[in-house]
Amino acid sequence: MSGISVRNLVKRWGSVCAVDDVSFETGSCEFVALLGPSGCGKSTTLRLIAGLEQATSGTVSIAGRDVTSLPSSQRNLSMVFQSYALFPHMTVAENIVFGLSVRGTPKAERQQRLRKIVDLLGLSALLDRRPSQLSGGQQQRVALGRALIAETPVCLLDEPLSNLDAKLRAEMRNEIRTLQRRLRIAMVFVTHDQTEAMSMADRIILMREGRVEQSGTPTELYEEPVSTFAARFIGTPPMNILDLSPSDAGFVVGGIAQAPPDGLPPGRYQLGVRPEHIRFSDRGVPARVESIEYFGADTITACQVGNQRLLVRTPGRAPCAADDTVFLSWPESAQHFFDEGSGLRCTGREGAKAPS
């Protein structure tokens, strides 16, 4: 096992429990995204792995070695900080080789590795500049260079793209992913942007209030969210969650019965349907169109079903106008049922369970 292994990690500040019993493992060249809303403990988890914060309890192992009590310098990892943390008084070249030079790497080797990393990141023309003379994207690349030149098996990144504009962010996403594949290292990437996590990660660890809500591949998180929280967090726009009213005919939305999974015990449930799985059709659930947002490639239509709101995503232009009455339908396979009390996913046959 050469990746990171985190077991029962807890971090408390007085009564605040920032990280609450978090466990996960990563492969040796896996790209893992730590995803979650603001304040859920992503940064704290990352800092605990890096050794910048002391764990209250639990262990962190890297490449099979327990590093819980080691200082960050001895954990054999590198990190890209959200603010980049470049040394303002050093040139780009000095910044990148800082780690090598304090660790006493011979000058010739330093130069050789610098040249390699600089070519990789396209920084050759900027070596003599100071960080203040660089653009945000260039600074970001320098920070990445400083982390990657150490050639550590693990690289941690704390929201490295959050200071960049949308276009540059998309470019850097690709670049980072390509680098990670080429260097065959493990990367743990903190983000609160689900698009970023979905598009880059091999695996997503979704956090909520200091706990791991769901951990799995982007496909798993998208197709089988374990809870309404996960369902609402993934996807743009996120999954529609509708309250179901129980009746003789089973579960009803807008007067139309919905087929529940086999063997779902009676109780209060919620129905989840992704906006892109809903179609306008001749019959189905009657709805009133509230507003239409046109994006070019697709359109997002907000509809009112009974007293609940529901978003529909259709390719191209919407076939309706505001205040129209339309009928909505979706395939049975696109339905997700959640327990109304706990918010957990219900699959019917075994009752509520998380997908393994």
Ligand X SMILES: Nc1ncnc2c1ncn2[C@@H]1O[C@H](COP(=O)(O)OP(=O)(O)OP(=O)(O)O)[C@@H](O)[C@H]1O
Q: Which residues bind Mg ion (CB under 5 A)?
A: 43
Work out whether 18 is an interface residue with ligand X (CB under 6 A).
yes
Chosen from another protein, Mg ion, ligand X, none, partner binding at 13 (C-beta under 5 to 8 Å by type): ligand X
* Residue 156, CB-side half-sphere exposure with 13 Å CA sphere: 24
177-205 core/surface letters (b: 16 or more CB in 10 A; e: else): bebbeeeebbbbbbbbbbebbbebbbbbb
Binding pattern to ligand X, positions 287-326, x when CB under 6 A?
----------------------------------------
As a whole number of Å, the CA-based R_g of the chain is 24
Q: Which is nearer to ligand X, 4 or 310 (CB)?
A: 4
Cα 331 to Cα 212, 269, 273, 334, distances in angstroms: 30, 18, 9, 5
**SS3 label, residue 44:** helix
Chosen from another protein, Mg ion, ligand X, none, partner binding at 52 (C-beta under 5 to 8 Å by type): another protein
Scan residues 76-95 and list those touching another protein (CB under 8 A): 77-79, 81, 83, 85, 87-89
Work out whether 1 is an interface residue with another protein (CB under 8 A).
no
Binding pattern to another protein, positions 148-187, x when CB under 8 A?
--x-------------------------------------
CB of 25 to ligand X, least distance (A): 20
Element (H, E) at 25: strand 16-25
CB of 39 to another protein, least distance (A): 19
Scan residues 29-68 and list those touching ligand X (CB under 6 A): 36, 38-44
CB of 106 to another protein, least distance (A): 15
Work out whether 71 is an interface residue with another protein (CB under 8 A).
yes
Q: Which is nearer to Mg ion, 82 or 347 (CB)?
A: 82
Chosen from another protein, Mg ion, ligand X, none, partner binding at 85 (C-beta under 5 to 8 Å by type): another protein
Scan residues 186-205 and list those touching ligand X (CB under 6 A): 192
Q: Which is nearer to ligand X, 18 or 201 (CB)?
A: 18
Chosen from Mg ion, another protein, ligand X, none, partner binding at 79 (C-beta under 5 to 8 Å by type): another protein
Give the tokens for residue 101. 């030079």
Residues 229, 235 contacting (CB under 8 angstroms): no
Residues 278, 303 contacting (CB under 8 angstroms): no
CA 251 – CA 150 distance, rounded (Å): 58
Work out whether 352 is an interface residue with another protein (CB under 8 A).
no
Task: Tell me what percent of the chain is helix, strand and coil, each rounded to the nearest 5.
Answer: 30, 35, 40
Element (H, E) at 181: helix 166-183
At residue 331, what is the residue type?
A: P
Work out whether 14 is an interface residue with another protein (CB under 8 A).
no
Q: In this structure, how many other beta carbons lie within 10 angstroms of the beta carbon of residue 146?
A: 25
312-328 core/surface letters (b: 16 or more CB in 10 A; e: else): bbbeeebebeeeeebeb
Interacting residues toward another protein by CB under 8 A:
50-52, 71-73, 77-79, 81, 83, 85, 87-89, 98-99, 102-103, 130, 132, 146, 150
